């Protein structure tokens, strides 16, 4: 009988005299999307969600995830091998403390966990032991090779500001903080700072590498030289030195006596350990690129508007097609996702999906981050709820949209319409919000939940996340969530607005648009205020809206939004699709 991955790992841990090992779903950049060579958690457990962690002991093992993936976790992992746990309700460090003897050596890979992440275990009293090499890599016999996609220039016409200008801005921030250098381990920061893009991970145009930004405006980029063609090296300029990743230890040694910023939440703890060994003064601080990157400049803002306008054409063509085939019982979750992809592939500037489309019919819609597979694929049946959450990467912007549709031909049950409308009320509450500068995502999250809370229901995910400019569809440092970091929302940021409701085994509801933060002009305001500009343009399904549950101002918002969709998208559609859109956007109530 073939040895299971779990058994192989346990044998390797015994060989290394380790009593346990933690396996985060992460690569050396601690991002959401990782190359196939870093999918260690999926190889070990079978779980393919984008957030999770496994803890392996000699006689027990557990795998943890958050509320988005609990149903997926149960379906993808073997209950005979793994305890399946909610990472918030039963944290890994608590489970380990309850299952290991005092002083047990629990191994961890210092490249795959941040300083803050490691502190959760050490503060709990666990004896955490760093490993020189990951034990999974020693037993994963068919591990894919590291990605080798080329890094290419991201043109100034869409970036808006030169890499030189950005480096000088970061240098100014470092000098102001009396810091000599900063570690950049987030590939989104590397991409933004140097105005480069790549193809090393699925769905996000990253060129994987690390960088050091210095207070004199110079920078060092650590990336496989084979990924940097001559045109890209010329684009980077003389102020940027380039070396392979194995040059990192020596580069950090040269920072002896220097003050170096390391993000304790976003960078591998390896950097902190190595810098301290080298005699550097390590200062904990956020990645200096996070806020400048999140606050899109005027060129990036216009690019995102243009990208969403083109994406709206694809989305409306798809929704029209769905309105015709939905009641037929001929299409499936997979064929619908493929149809939407084909619609987007016909759009100028399309570079790929921004994440795997969540195409969930009926009960599958209740799995918050459901991903259809050959095994799970099922027909889209008449008279049920269908949820489609998808997005695209364009050279000038990143999109993310969710629509919940009634397949027909019959009328949706009153209870479903009521719940959809409550979710829509939450969406409108955020989209229409005007708020003072200094407010963070945690402060406004409850606006989206009020109508749901009023009837005793809720959803187990945040209301919104940041979105990059032809970068990651999930971008920090701001989000709309009760768990959000205390970072104020700022003008130029792009955030999603996606409240939902999920009834396990029956259906899921989510309404999502992307919003651009703008200054609000309020005559006589005592302080600066902000508002949201809606970027996403596609109709909400009128068949699922109970107009009687909408307040007059909410109905006005919805009708004005639909009028805008019809006015701005309609002229770019074929006549029969335009006719459908006109009907889909008719005034309600």
- Percentage of residues of the chain with pLDDT beyond 70: 100
pTM of structure: 0.94
Q: Are 376 and 364 in contact (CB under 8 A)?
A: yes
The burial class, CB within 10 Å (0-12 / 13-18 / 19+), for 60 is middle
Q: Which of 249-253, 269-273, 354-358, 370-374 has the lowest mean pLDDT?
A: 370-374
238-257 average pLDDT score: 97
Q: Which residues pair with 222 in a beta bridge?
A: 210, 243
Match domain 5-139 to its CATH number in 3.40.50.10190, 3.40.350.10, 3.60.21.10, 3.40.630.30.
Answer: 3.40.350.10
Tell me the per-residue pLDDT of 438-494, one tens digit each, with 9 for 90 and over: 999 999 999 999 999 999 999 999 999 999 999 999 999 999 999 888 899 999 999
* Distance of alpha carbon 13 from alpha carbon 491, whole angstroms: 50
Calculated CA dihedral for residues 510, 515, 517, 523, nearest 10 degrees: -90
Tell me the per-residue pLDDT of 519-560, one tens digit each, with 9 for 90 and over: 999 999 999 999 999 999 999 999 999 999 999 999 999 999
Phi, psi of 156 (to 5 degrees): -60, -25
Bond preceding residue 477 cis, omega within 30 of 0: yes
Tell me the per-residue pLDDT of 15-41, one tens digit each, with 9 for 90 and over: 999 999 999 999 999 988 899 999 999
DSSP character at residue 570? G
The Cα angle at residue 96 between residues 93 and 101, in degrees rounded to 5 = 135
SS3 495: strand
* Distance of alpha carbon 251 from alpha carbon 498, whole angstroms: 43
Q: The domain 295-580: what is its CATH number?
A: 3.90.230.10
Q: Are 108 and 18 in contact (CB under 8 A)?
A: no
Q: The domain 152-289: what is its CATH number?
A: 3.40.350.10
Q: How far from 259 is each of 271, 280, 346, 424, 497, CA to CA, in Å?
A: 13, 6, 50, 49, 39
Q: Are 501 and 509 in contact (CB under 8 A)?
A: yes
Tell me the per-residue pLDDT of 270-325, one tens digit each, with 9 for 90 and over: 999 999 999 999 999 999 999 999 999 999 999 999 999 999 999 999 999 999 99
Tokens of 207: 């060129």
Q: Where in the chain is the domain with CATH 3.40.350.10?
A: 5-139, 152-289
* Distance of alpha carbon 286 from alpha carbon 545, whole angstroms: 43
Q: Where in the chain is the domain with CATH 3.90.230.10?
A: 295-580
Calculated CA dihedral for residues 166, 168, 170, 174, nearest 10 degrees: 180
Is the predicted pLDDT of residue 245 greater than 90, yes or no? yes
Average pLDDT value over all residues in the chain = 97
Helix (H) or strand (E) holding 466: strand 464-466
241-262 average pLDDT score: 97
């Amino acid at each position: 009988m073939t040895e299971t991955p779990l058994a192989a790992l346990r044998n390797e841990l015994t060989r290394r005299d380790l009593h346990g090992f933690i396996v985060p779903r992460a690569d050396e950049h601690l991002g959401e999307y990782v190359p196939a060579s870093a999918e260690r958690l999926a190889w070990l457990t079978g779980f393919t969600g984008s957030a999770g962690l496994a803890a392996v002991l000699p006689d027990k093992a557990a795998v943890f995830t958050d509320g988005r993936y609990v149903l997926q976790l149960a379906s993808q992992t073997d209950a005979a091998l793994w305890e399946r746990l909610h990472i918030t309700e039963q944290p890994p460090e608590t489970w380990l403390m309850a299952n290991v003897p005092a002083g047990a050596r629990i191994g961890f890979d210092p490249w795959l966990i941040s300083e803050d992440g490691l502190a959760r275990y050490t503060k709990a009293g666990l004896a955490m032991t760093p490993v020189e090499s990951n034990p999974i890599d020693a037993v994963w016999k068919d591990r894919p090779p590291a990605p080798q996609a080329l890094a290419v220039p991201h043109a100034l016409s869409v970036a808006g500001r030169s890499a030189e200008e950005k480096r000088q801005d970061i240098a100014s921030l470092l000098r102001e903080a009396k810091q000599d250098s900063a570690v950049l381990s987030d590939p989104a920061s590397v991409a933004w700072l140097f105005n480069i893009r790549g193809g090393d991970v699925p769905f996000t145009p990253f060129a994987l590498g690390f960088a050091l930004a210095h207070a004199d405006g110079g920078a060092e980029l650590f990336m496989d030289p084979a990924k940097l063609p001559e045109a890209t090296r010329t684009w980077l300029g003389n102020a940027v030195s380039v070396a392979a990743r194995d040059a990192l230890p020596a580069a950090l040694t040269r920072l002896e006596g220097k003050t170096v910023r390391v993000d304790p939440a976003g960078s591998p703890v390896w950097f902190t350990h190595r810098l301290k060994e080298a005699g550097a003064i390590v200062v904990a601080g956020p990645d200096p690129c996070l806020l400048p990157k999140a606050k899109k400049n005027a060129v990036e803002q216009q690019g995102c508007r243009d990208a969403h306008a083109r994406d709206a054409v694809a989305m409306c063509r798809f929704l029209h097609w769905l309105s015709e085939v939905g009641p037929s019982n001929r299409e499936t979750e997979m064929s619908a996702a493929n149809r939407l992809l084909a619609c987007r592939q016909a759009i100028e500037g399309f570079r790929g999906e921004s994440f795997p489309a969540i195409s969930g019919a009926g009960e599958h819609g209740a799995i918050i981050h459901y991903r259809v597979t050959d095994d799970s694929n099922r027909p889209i049946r008449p008279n049920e709820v269908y949820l489609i959450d998808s997005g695209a990467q364009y050279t000038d912007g990143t999109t993310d949209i969710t629509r919940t549709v009634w397949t027909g031909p019959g009328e949706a049950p009153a209870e479903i319409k009521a719940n959809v409308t409550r979710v829509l009320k939450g969406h409108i509450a955020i989209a229409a919000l005007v708020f003072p500068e200094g407010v963070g995502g945690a402060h406004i999250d409850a606006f989206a939940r009020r109508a749901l809370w009023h009837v005793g229901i809720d959803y187990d995910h945040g209301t919104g996340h940041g979105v990059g400019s032809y970068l990651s569809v999930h971008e920090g440092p701001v989000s709309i969530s009760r768990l959000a970091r205390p970072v104020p929302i700022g003008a130029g940021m792009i955030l999603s607005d996606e409240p939902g409701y999920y009834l396990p085994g029956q259906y899921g509801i989510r309404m999502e648009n992307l919003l651009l933060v703008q200054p609000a002009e309020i005559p006589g305001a005592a302080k600066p205020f902000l508002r949201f500009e809606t970027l996403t343009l596609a109709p909400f399904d009128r068949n699922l809206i109970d107009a009687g549950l909408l307040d007059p101002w909410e109905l006005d918002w919805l009708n004005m939004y639909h009028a805008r969709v019809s006015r701005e998208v309609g002229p770019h559609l074929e006549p029969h699709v335009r006719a459908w859109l006109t009907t889909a956007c008719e005034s309600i109530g």
